[in-house]
Amino acid sequence: MDSKKEVTHTGIVKEIGEGAIKVSIIVQSGCASCQIKGTCNMSEQTDKLLEIECNPFEYKIGQQVLVKLKSSQGMNALFLGYVLPFLVLLTVMIIVSNLTNEEGIIGMAALASLVPYYIVLYYYRNKIKKIFTYVVHPLK
């Protein structure tokens, strides 16, 4: 993979299962990596647990690894998580606003339209999970 076209994180192997490992990575916001983060309360760090399909016999619990994801897959995640729901919300707002002038109804209909969207996303989570493939490499 070209390093400019991938997102990488270092992580630690937490669990080893059949055909997969679980890796804990620390995701930092832009503020968390800032040199003057102590001057404001904007720093943010979250610990994420990723299940990565690979040969589990190559890894040990506690081992440091490098996790890679193609940046194009990151853009797909951004589209599914933010852009598409925004388009659904906006479309429903426009359609309902043409049917009624009640702002409360327009807002509630727009918000309610996201419920089926996220239910469908949850229903297809296993298919979506296959699209986003992580590559893991041991760090020496």
| 95 or 40: which leads in pLDDT | 95
pLDDT, tens only, 44-55 = 567 788 888 888
Binning pLDDT at 50, 70 and 90, where does residue 101 land?
A: very high
Q: H or E stretch including 51?
A: strand 45-53
pTM: 0.63
Q: 2 burial class (0-12, 13-18, 19+ CB within 10 angstroms)?
A: exposed
Q: How far apart are CA 55 and CA 68, in angstroms?
A: 16
Query: CA torsion sign, 59 to 62 to 63 to 66?
Result: positive
Query: CA torsion sign, 66 to 70 to 75 to 81?
Result: negative
Q: How far apart are CA 105 and CA 128, in angstroms?
A: 33
- Mean pLDDT, range 102-126, rounded to an integer: 94
Q: 42 burial class (0-12, 13-18, 19+ CB within 10 angstroms)?
A: exposed
Contacts of 51 (CB under 8 A, 6+ apart): 20, 21, 22
